[in-house]
A and B are shown apart, each in its own frame.
Chain A
Amino acid sequence: MHPAEIWIFRFVFLAFIGAFGVQIATRLRLFLRASNNIRVPDGESGVRIWRVAREVILQSRTIAERPLVGLAHLGVFWGFCAFALFTTVEFLRGLGVADLTATAWFATYALLLVPFALAVLVGITGLIIRRVFVRPPALGTSVSKESVLIGFFIITLMVTFLLDFTLTEGVAARVNWWVHELVILSFIVVIPGSKHFHLLVSPITVYLRSSDLATVPNLDFEREQVGLETLKDVERKQVLDAFTCVECGRCQVNCPAHATGKLLNPKTLILQNEDALLAGRMDATLADIFEATALWQCTTCGACEHHCPVGVEHLPLVIGARRGLVSNGDAPDVLGAVYNHLERRGNIWGLGADQRQKFVQAAGLEIFDSAKHEYLMWLGCAGSFEADFQKSLRSLFEILRARGITFGVLAKERCTGDVAKRTGNEYQFQELARANIEDFRAAGVRKILTSCPHCLRTIGVDYQEFGFAVEVVHSSVLVAAITRDVSVPVTSQVTFHDPCYLGRYSGHTEEPRTLLQRFGASISEPARHGANPFCCGAGGGLLFEEHEEGKRISQERFEQLQATGAATIVTACPFCSIMLKGAQASANSAVEFVDLMTFVEGRLKTVQ
């Protein structure tokens, strides 16, 4: 290269990299000033590195639900990685540091890059066509000019690279080279301020994502933590999430609130966070930035987090913001009544303990004795007070007795605090949790059995932060394990509604199906099932909110289940059952509901 060219390149390089650096500095500052909530639990780093290998290098999540798009992206991504050395070598040449372009290994390397370049071209062209012409709803209503620009940058880079094989000398060659370098440098400048920042941030956020959905650590009241009130309070992982979001819209498309016409849109939430951070609105309240209405429409189903390919955790942001609101007395009125019930009577409906006692006696339950009983049967609020769910529990008790499993109940129960935790009433949650854990320890409990997926998650996962870790199992899992010897011919056609807190949260999608098939049911699945169910609408405190914007989530889900054509809907969660039966009542339909345990017990009797 001509010396003048090299000096010009040095100047241009410095200018562009400087512009890049300034933007990085701004974002780094935003990151560093936020409070540090980043914690990788001991022994998890290995698991997480393996996760990065699968999700980043192999692009498992982007390919999972959108195979063609995912593969196109894989081509572009691997091309990028492959070209890294090429870019470096050309920079070194341009800066006049070293010219390795004439070496033999570089020539071979360049040839090996050709299939990558072609893969990138095919991939990026497909993606541009999808964005501009196909216009999937997940990408929003208007076409992102920035994305199209980047797309053309990438095409230009590959084309100039391929042209370089034919243009070896002369002005055309130099122009080609400069175009290539200028486009790369422009790309680098655009990265921090666009969704392409994920190139740098997403391996970090994928690594830092918690292993459990909705990991929202306890507030430390000694240090006067009250939750997230203003943008100042947003924590480091949430700042990273704001920058890593690729605006793919998987969260939006799977969100039940968004699907039923509500204000809440998880993608918008993350982008609002980003916009506010970059605009420096540090004193703005989160209620203003996200709109409190939207924050209270979340059922905490976890679909958003579950689908995000770049490790964004939406729920800590929503629940954190709810905590900030509740700390200032700003919970919706219906929740105020629930909190009163929890405080005065220790259950979500404010019913008297004598009612639970009546059920305990009527069902012939024994009081838990660690010397006699293997399992503590945890009834939960629904098990203690809700007549329909109690029927399913009676079925469970029959199954357990038939199979010789010993179990007892606590003399008195109080709510696990699930609703308090998910709606941001952290103080009440911790009070309930500590009191429950004391009771468990005093009773010498080693294994807990429950039929409520919310209790399953709260006791099994959230209580661990208090140092309480025993085996907590859902009835479907235990019953599946103790009935392996049974097989009943198929006699009924059902559909199964996966509870979010059993399937998506706790990973148990197989056991209920195993049970159903083993006991003679053929299952018709709705489109949203298994690890990606559509919420019934009860979570996040929304059980109590009877006035919904848009369409009722429970009604939407009920229609989805009805559309499978099955005559029977099987549920495995008391709240799903309440919501879906409510939807059925309002829809004036005759489809039958049965709880999984009642289904199993009915057929178990026929084979005994």
Chain B
Amino acid sequence: MILVIAEQQGGTLNRTSLETIAAAQQTGSEVKVAVPGADVSAVAAVLAAAQVAEVLCVQAPALEAYTLDGYVAALAQVVQDERPDHVFLPHTYLTRDFAPALAVRLGMALVTDCVGVRWQDGALIAARPMFQGRLLADVATSGPALVTFQIGAVRADSLVGGGAPAPMRTVTVAIDAGAIRQKPEAPFREARQAVDLTQAERIVSVGRGIKEQDKVEMARQLAAAIGAELGASRPICDLGWLPMDRQVGSSGQTVAPKLYLALGISGAIQHLVGMKGARTIVAINKDPEAPIFEVADYGIVGDLFDIVPAMLKELQG
């Protein structure tokens, strides 16, 4: 049996847990899922939709906020009670914090950041990258091990759903709250920018081709029409037409949205470096020689003052 430790914070499931469950399912073993927290019934219901043997709600008031000591105490109890062959976890920040201590507490091996597992002569072999991805190492463990999975290594949509919801069981763990050495504070969000373009799935970006400050409004409308954030190249921010936190570039924000629409942006390398990670790049520019066309997936050589209103009409009409 493989026990998957799922992660939730504030009642929201960390969806990488689903990837880990999929990885466990693919081994062909029986899979159980444990999720720690103060009250995890809602999250457990989501997990129960997967084809697993059981979902354990590992609950205690002390687990309301994440603490290293609380989680280690709770999960150690669960693992000792359930006695799985192996424990799978997603390689999240939280996992990185508590998994080492948990492994030591349980006397189990810990293999981290794995991209896959397979069986060989009845033993589990975990594959993990080394030297910044230049080599892939097969790690064999003797005995039960904790294995953490690299985020994105297993696709969440390969998760097999169960017909009926899996049975849920509450496991109350006894944790000595006084023995918890960490004192959690309110979550810290780096509030340097009001706008976080790095989280945007779509960005409409304006460059010097927009010519005048009041024309930026047109780009704003386009962004609103497709549910995109508004971004800009450096000249626009330098001129004060858009605030600095909208600048995309090598020292502005580096973004990797699904869609990047570059309006009147020439594609100087400082800007390109900030957005080349975008999945699909659409560029509109009057200059056929503009460097942006080297990286664009779709390019329109033309006047954006003709094209963008036409696009808006299509989208809004």
Q: Which of A349, A382, A387, A546 contacts B267 (CB 8 A)?
A: A387
Does A146 count as interface, using CB distance less than 8 angstroms?
no
Q: Report the Cα distance A386→B267, complex, angstroms.
A: 10
Quick check: B270 and A578 within 8 Å, CB to CB?
Answer: yes
Contact A582 to B270, CB < 8 A, known contacts A544-B251, A546-B249, A546-B252:
yes
Contact A578 to B268, CB < 8 A, known contacts A544-B251, A586-B239, A588-B239:
yes
Give the residues from 255 to 286 in chain B that come closer than 8 angstroms, CB to CB, to chain A.
266-270, 273, 276
Does B250 count as interface, using CB distance less than 8 angstroms?
yes
Quick check: A386 and B234 within 8 Å, CB to CB?
Answer: no
Does B157 count as interface, using CB distance less than 8 angstroms?
no
Q: Which of B234, B251, B291 contacts A387 (CB 8 A)?
A: B291
Give the residues from 233 to 253 in chain B that come closer than 8 angstroms, CB to CB, to chain A.
233-235, 238-239, 249-252
Q: Chain B contacts of A350 at CB under 8 A? A: 273
Q: Report the Cα distance A1→B207, complex, angstroms.
A: 87
Closest to B244 in A: A547
Contact A581 to B268, CB < 8 A, known contacts A546-B234, A586-B239:
yes
Q: Count the B residues whose beta carbon is within 8 Å of the partner chain — how many?
A: 22
Q: Report the Cα distance A441→B132, complex, angstroms.
A: 29
Q: Chain A contacts of B234 at CB under 8 A? A: 546, 582, 585-586
A577-608 contact mask (Cβ, 8 Å, vs B): 1 or 0: 01001100110100000000000000000000
Q: Chain A contacts of B233 at CB under 8 A? A: 585
Q: Report the Cα distance A387→B267, complex, angstroms.
A: 9
Quick check: B235 and A385 within 8 Å, CB to CB?
Answer: no
Q: Report the Cα distance A344→B270, complex, angstroms.
A: 19
Q: Report the Cα distance A241→B106, complex, angstroms.
A: 64
Does A212 count as interface, using CB distance less than 8 angstroms?
no
Does A330 count as interface, using CB distance less than 8 angstroms?
no
Does B220 count as interface, using CB distance less than 8 angstroms?
no
Quick check: B251 and A586 within 8 Å, CB to CB?
Answer: no
Q: Report the Cα distance A382→B207, complex, angstroms.
A: 22
Main SS class of interface, A: helix
Does A388 count as interface, using CB distance less than 8 angstroms?
yes
Q: Chain A contacts of B251 at CB under 8 A? A: 334, 544-547
Q: Quote the shortest CB–CB distance from A352 to chain B (angstroms).
A: 10
Q: Report the Cα distance A283→B59, complex, angstroms.
A: 56
Does B81 count as interface, using CB distance less than 8 angstroms?
no
B121-133 contact mask (Cβ, 8 Å, vs A): 1 or 0: 0000000000010
B214-243 contact mask (Cβ, 8 Å, vs A): 1 or 0: 000000000000000000011100110000
Does B208 count as interface, using CB distance less than 8 angstroms?
yes
Q: Which of A334, A545, A582 contacts B235 (CB 8 A)?
A: A582
Q: Report the Cα distance A581→B267, complex, angstroms.
A: 12
Quick check: A388 and B235 within 8 Å, CB to CB?
Answer: no
Q: Quote the shortest CB–CB distance from A187 to chain B (angstroms).
A: 53
Q: Quote the shortest CB–CB distance from B234 to chain A (angstroms).
A: 7
Contact A586 to B235, CB < 8 A, known contacts A349-B269, A387-B294:
yes
Contact A582 to B268, CB < 8 A, known contacts A350-B273, A387-B291, A588-B239:
yes
Quick check: A388 and B291 within 8 Å, CB to CB?
Answer: yes
B183-223 contact mask (Cβ, 8 Å, vs A): 1 or 0: 00000000000000000000000011000000000000000
Q: Quote the shortest CB–CB distance from A526 to chain B (angstroms).
A: 22
Give the residues from 34 to 61 in chain B that come closer than 8 angstroms, CB to CB, to chain A.
none
Quick check: B132 and A344 within 8 Å, CB to CB?
Answer: yes
A538-554 contact mask (Cβ, 8 Å, vs B): 1 or 0: 00000011110000000
Contact A349 to B252, CB < 8 A, known contacts A344-B132, A585-B208, A585-B234:
no
Q: Which residues of B contact A (CB under 8 A)?
A: 132, 207-208, 233-235, 238-239, 249-252, 266-270, 273, 276, 289, 291, 294
A-B contact pairs, 10 of them (CB 8 A): A334-B250, A351-B276, A387-B294, A545-B251, A546-B270, A581-B268, A585-B234, A585-B266, A586-B239, A588-B239
Closest 4 A-B residue pairs measured CB to CB? A387-B291, A585-B235, A586-B238, A546-B251
Q: Which residues of A contact B (CB under 8 A)?
A: 334, 337, 344, 349-351, 382, 385-388, 391, 544-547, 578, 581-582, 585-586, 588
**10 extra interface residue pairs, beta carbon distance < 8 Å, beyond A387-B291, A582-B234:** A382-B269, A387-B294, A388-B291, A545-B251, A546-B249, A546-B270, A547-B251, A578-B268, A585-B235, A588-B239
